[in-house]
């Protein structure tokens, strides 16, 4: 963002992207301000595929929800 470029604040953002073939991937974008060249702010960064991590997080959440549902059926 413009504010991040001005303040040189590092950015860490996760995005869900749909590829041209219809598949969905999750990416983690890390970027930071580099020393300005010719007075212009410059950002450098890396993009990581975190799809497997997101799938594991979703599976864990579903498992926890099932466990809570089962526990709620037990007599108090």
Q: Give the pLDDT confidence of 35-61 residue by residue, as tens digits.
A: 777 777 788 899 999 999 999 999 999
CA count, 13 A, side-chain hemisphere, 10: 5
Tell me the average pLDDT across 17-30.
97
pLDDT at 33: 86
Lowest pLDDT segment from 8-12, 62-66, 71-75: 8-12
d(CA 31, CA 54): 20
Check whether 26 has a pLDDT greater than 80.
yes
Rounding to the nearest 10 degrees, give the CA dihedral for residues 4, 5, 11, 17: 110
| Inter-CA distances, 47 with 1, 11, 16, 29, 63, Å | 16, 12, 12, 5, 29
Which percentage of the chain shows pLDDT scores above 90? 68
């Amino acid at each position: 963002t413009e504010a991040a470029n001005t303040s040189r604040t590092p950015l860490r953002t996760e995005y869900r992207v749909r590829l041209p073939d219809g598949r969905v991937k999750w990416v983690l974008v890390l970027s930071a301000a580099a020393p300005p060249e010719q007075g212009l702010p410059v950002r450098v960064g890396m993009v990581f595929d975190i799809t497997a991590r997101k799938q594991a997080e979703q599976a864990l959440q579903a498992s926890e929800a099932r466990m809570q549902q089962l526990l709620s059926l037990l007599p108090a």
